[in-house]
Chains A and B, each alone.
Chain A
Amino acid sequence: MSKHPILRTPAGQLQRAAIRDAFVKLDPRRLKSNPVMFATAVTALLTTVLGLRDLVSGTGGAGATLHISAWLWIAVLFANYAEALAEGRGRARADSLRATKADTMVRLLAEANTPPEEATMVASSGLREGQYVLVTAGDIIPTDAEVVHGVASVDESAITGESAPVIRESGGDRSSVTGGTRIVSDSLVLRVTAEPGKSFLDRMIALVEGAERQRTPNEIALNILLAGLTLIFLFVVVTLEPFASFSGAQIPVVALAALFVTLIPTTIGALLSAIGIAGMDRLVRANVIAKSGRAVEAAGDVDTLLLDKTGTITFGNRMADDLFPAPGVTREALAVAAGLASLADETPEGKSVTEKAREILGRGLPEAPGAEAVPFTAQTRLSGVDLPDGRRLRKGAVDAIMRLTGQSLPAALAHSVETIARSGGTPLLVAEDRAILGVIHLKDIIKPGVRERFADLRAMGIRTVMITGDNPLTAAAIAAEAGVDDFLAEATPEMKLDYIRKAQAGGRLVAMCGDGSNDAPALAQADVGVAMNSGTPAAKEAANLIDLDSDPTKLIEVVMVGKGLLISRGSLTTFSIANDVAKYFAILPAIFVTAYPGLSVLNVMQLASPTSAILSAVIFNALIIVALIPLALRGVKYAPSSAAALLRRNLLVYGAGGLIVPFLGIKAVDMALAALNLA
């Protein structure tokens, strides 16, 4: 997916940086935003102090205490490492972006029409919104701006990774330029649209770096749940001391500390921010910039997708699908006439007709030197060639050709025309002089795989709605072929907005993509609006996601990333909580067995000794974090399916797995400790 070689920072280098950061992140000011890991660190500090006290005073058990403390610290470091690793991947990208943001001198114009000679040189970092600047070939465009005058080609590879330059011109939907891109030809007068430090590039750097990462709503809710559980387990452990002492058991503080840390949801607590950062990173690698984390999560919730027909569902252009000759005309003759009539037609439709003609003939078209092209005009609505031998070949809309020839359609052709129209295609007639030779079936070609994709989406509970300017008949036919759930024909921006509002009033969450200024209201209204990077500033401002590749199918990918993010969090939380069962069975018999020897029946794992039982639980607790880092960064595997099927699967894997895995893991660690004579 990535087009950014820069991302392939050597893995070793990333990891070394992450290990360094893991220690830097021990700073309590950084830890306190994560209640679970903060509690772990405080507990680790407490047991370390106790261990050192025992060491100094020569009381027994200092070794075991320090051993447990060490593993508590390791759990915290693993959590920091996971976060640092996730951040590191983004940072590599941010560095490459920052390189394009060098401060340069630019030509400031007083007014849009100030002559270039009167420009004053200023630093690009000082540009304010509304100022005018002149850029010429070779310049780096200093900041986000709108083209006021001129046409130029611009290399946007620094942002999008796409190497082919694109055209930027004033007016229309191609008028916005992005800071950090390079103008390759001609010159442009730009009106600055971003305040210093607020440009797209700035936002993108902040985003990929994770520096300004805002927590998403579900992450906040989950954090509250985890904090609440931490508090509950604090009650459990703190009150256990009086209960135990009433029962005649003396539980060392370090054992209670170990119980506390193993019970609180450290697994998810350690990986929560890594999951969030990695999710955003996945989006960045898909070349989508999220203006807020909320939008990414909302993408996971979306249940209605508004998709533009052109480019998303069909290839951009209609193609000649077949030729139907009039009675008495051979298919070959029709093919020759249609092909010659389209020779001068440089549009993709015209090219597809000549392609089709060649395909039917199985050879090239006859040469027609001296032929004179008759271009398409809005008045005649037909085009063709006048051959040197006087023959006039024309192709065009049905009514236009009929007007030209003055002939009515033969019954067989009329039937073909109707069939084509009803199937959603466009019939074009071909005429030679006043004779109608036949009809060309121009058809919207559905992109391969689209139908399957929509079926997947339907299985996930997402409705797809096709937006098209076609008439309802054509739209219905294409909609049926593509397998969308609904369509909006002859769509105007107002209709889109209206459709979104109605869907939202019914409780649906709507995503759409758009690029034109007239899409802006609908983009703003939609719960998830994806603007094409090639779109107008108004569209980009209204949207909450921007697709750098300007690929309308990206919407579906964004939905997948959003879902994956939530699934990873939910699954790891479930796993983390389910782990507690085994930890109880490891630690409780160890600390109670002196008071009630009968409670050794709870030692179902047959752990070697109380000390090794506690140590095994703590070690397992730390190791499981590091074992799950790849899963957190990669995201839980997710195949499109219904929510019920997903829940069953994830509940089985992460719920049942979370119950069983720690029993095996703790036992394994215990055996390893015994083998190494460590406990």
Chain B
Amino acid sequence: MTDLLGYMLWFAVLIGLAVPAAVWMNRVYAGVPAFARTERTILRMAGIDGSRGMGWAEYAIAVLILNAVGFFLLYAILRLQGVLPQNPDGIVGMSPDLAFNTAISFITNTNWQAYSGEAQLSYFSQMAGLTVQNFLSAATGMAVGVAVIRGFTEPKGATLGNFWTDMIRSVLWILLPMSVLLALFLALQGVPQTLLGAIQATGVEGQEQIIARGPAAAQIAIKQLGTNGGGFFGVNSAHPFENPTIASDLAQTWAILLIPVAFCFLFGIMAKDRRQGVAIFASMAVMFVIGLATIHLYETWGNPLLGSGANMEGKEQRFGAMLSSLWAASTTAASNGSVNAMHDSFMPLSGLVMMVFMQIGEVIFGGVGAGLYGMLLYVVLAVFLAGLMVGRTPEYLGRKIEAREVTLAMLAFLSMPLGILVFAALAVTVPAATAAIQDAGPHGLSEALYAYSSATGNNGSAFAGWGAALPWHTTAIGLVMLLGRYAIILPMLAIAGSLIRKQPAPESAGTFPTHGPLFVTLLVLTVVILGALTFFPVLALGPIAEETARLAGQTF
């Protein structure tokens, strides 16, 4: 009962933070006069006319080039970190395949970590490499999100906006100020923020302990706010240094979902019909709550095979089942990927929920910007089917959904089964790949499936017992992360570019309302039937088979 009260209060605070954030974001993306001079100066230095709107293709090219430059720079830093400054622990350069994997991981906002931070990254790599891409990949997602919203909502003939302007605004006026506040709060809670190296302690019983530290608070703030999720330390936000207190834990769960939730409301504000944003938020919230409740119940009931009480394997005492479940649901719903408990050790059906959240394409809040444009993909499909059922060419916000939009939506949609099913099938077949699997039985299948679901969804969390560092996987997952990011961004921008050229039709009794419970039901069913059902067969062989085995007392 107190758990329910706690969840409700948590949800209320989240919405209470997200609504003003959305209002602020709307102002920022429209241009705040007081910031205009700063923006102009930066844009001039970069050699761009930031007021010039872009078509979808130009916008997409700008996204790709920024991310490409980011990739090469990050790759170089990771390879050369051994000779670069700020390396108090003397860490050597990364291997080529791991650097490839890590660089892609951070430019795509995935933050899949096939390495352990404290052991394989210098402070310079963490700060100038990863933290920078935490900002830039998040800003990329937000800019694309805003551009897509413009495509759906701006009047005919408008442009999708200027990528560079949107990107700069995302960093300077949204991500950076929020990160500063959160980083300071976390530092006060006990998250280290120091350039001093690891410290050697001599314990009470005389044993030596080397305690890794570093400038963690600054990176953790942006890793949560930007739905990046890449931990400073190997065990991510389960590490007492990344997440020392209950207050730090709550602050981080809010930070994970703040901007993704705000994007729903921003959509409503930009559409000049707040109900549209509320409907999308409600659709996401319904699925989130169902998933959260499932995880919470299974983790609280615990695993009788381990003894009575909640399932505490891979969980921290201070968080217990509730805060671990809340985090697990939040981090997989938003494509964050940080963890405060080990997902590999969650109950089978909890793991199923987390996988489904990722497999449907990270559209339950999802990544910053990315969650909204991912959900709009489902909206296009839902509206197409429903629109036909009311006897008109389907339209959304007055814009007709026609063959071009459906083609692009299907193209984007194909990337999920391709990345997840095809690559996970290879991962359980190819001998060079199967060595990664730690657990026997159905849980082993779940590990591989989770990895590719996470990579394709640009989530970054893992069933961490799985050996992500095998060269096969660093390469394959690198490719899948690219697929999961750009095979959605490009078609969605193209859809936005196509919609913005259409004359919106006025609303009438003949257009079915895209707000209200009926639409929410329709959208949720579309996500479940088109998105989740695709993965039902393989989930049956993974988590569902494991659950039935567990109930029968079978172990592997």
Contact = CB atoms under 8 A, between A and B. Distances in A.
Contact between chain A and chain B defined by CB under 8 Å? yes
Interface of A: 217-218, 220-222, 224-225, 227-229, 231-233, 235-236, 238-240, 242-247, 249, 259, 297-298, 300-301, 303, 458-463, 504-509, 562-564, 566-567, 569-571, 573-574, 577-578, 580-581, 584, 588, 592, 595-596, 598-599, 601-602, 638, 642-644, 646-648, 650-651, 654-655
The 5 closest A-B pairs by CB, nearest first: A461-B510, A570-B388, A598-B548, A563-B391, A228-B410
Interface in B443-481: 444-445
A462 B504 CA distance: 16
Contact of A462 (B510, B549, B554): B510
Contacts of B411: 228
Nearest to B544: A599
Interface string B411-425: 101100110011011
Contacts of A569: 388
B513 interface: yes
Contact of A654 (B389, B393, B418, B429): B389
B347 to A, nearest CB: 15
B413 A232 contact: yes
A73 B403 CA distance: 30
Given A239-B424, A602-B544, A643-B513, 10 more contacts: A218-B393, A224-B403, A228-B410, A228-B411, A238-B425, A243-B445, A249-B541, A570-B388, A581-B533, A647-B522
Contacts of B381: 225
29 contacts: A221-B405, A222-B388, A224-B403, A225-B406, A228-B410, A228-B414, A239-B425, A240-B538, A242-B425, A246-B428, A297-B393, A300-B391, A303-B510, A462-B508, A570-B385, A570-B390, A573-B385, A574-B389, A580-B529, A584-B536, A596-B442, A596-B548, A642-B510, A643-B512, A643-B513, A644-B518, A646-B391, A647-B389, A651-B518
B33 interface: no
B212 interface: no
Given A228-B414, A240-B537, A235 B421 contact: yes
Given A507-B505, A602-B544, A643 B525 contact: no
Contacts of A571: 388-389
B271 interface: no
B120 interface: no
A642 B509 contact: yes
Nearest to A227: B410
Nearest to A459: B509
B520 to A, nearest CB: 12
B505 A217 contact: no
B414 A232 contact: yes
A601 B538 contact: no
A461 B422 contact: no
Where chain B touches its partner, the secondary structure class is helix
Where chain A touches its partner, the secondary structure class is helix
A224 B391 contact: no
A598 B390 contact: no
Interface residues of B, number: 68
Given A300-B392, A581-B529, A647-B518, A242 B510 contact: no
Contacts of B516: 644
Given A507-B506, A643-B512, A644-B518, A243 B538 contact: yes
Contacts of A602: 540, 544
A247 B421 contact: no
B389 A650 contact: yes
Contact of A588 (B511, B537, B554): B537
A460 B424 CA distance: 48
Nearest to B156: A507
Given A574-B385, A598-B551, A646-B389, A217 B417 contact: no
A414 to B, nearest CB: 44
Contacts of A225: 381, 384, 406, 410
B388 A458 contact: no
B414 A231 contact: yes
A646 B537 contact: no
A463 to B, nearest CB: 8
Contacts of A650: 389-390
B480 to A, nearest CB: 14
Nearest to B504: A507
Interface string B490-530: 00000000000001111011111100101001100100011
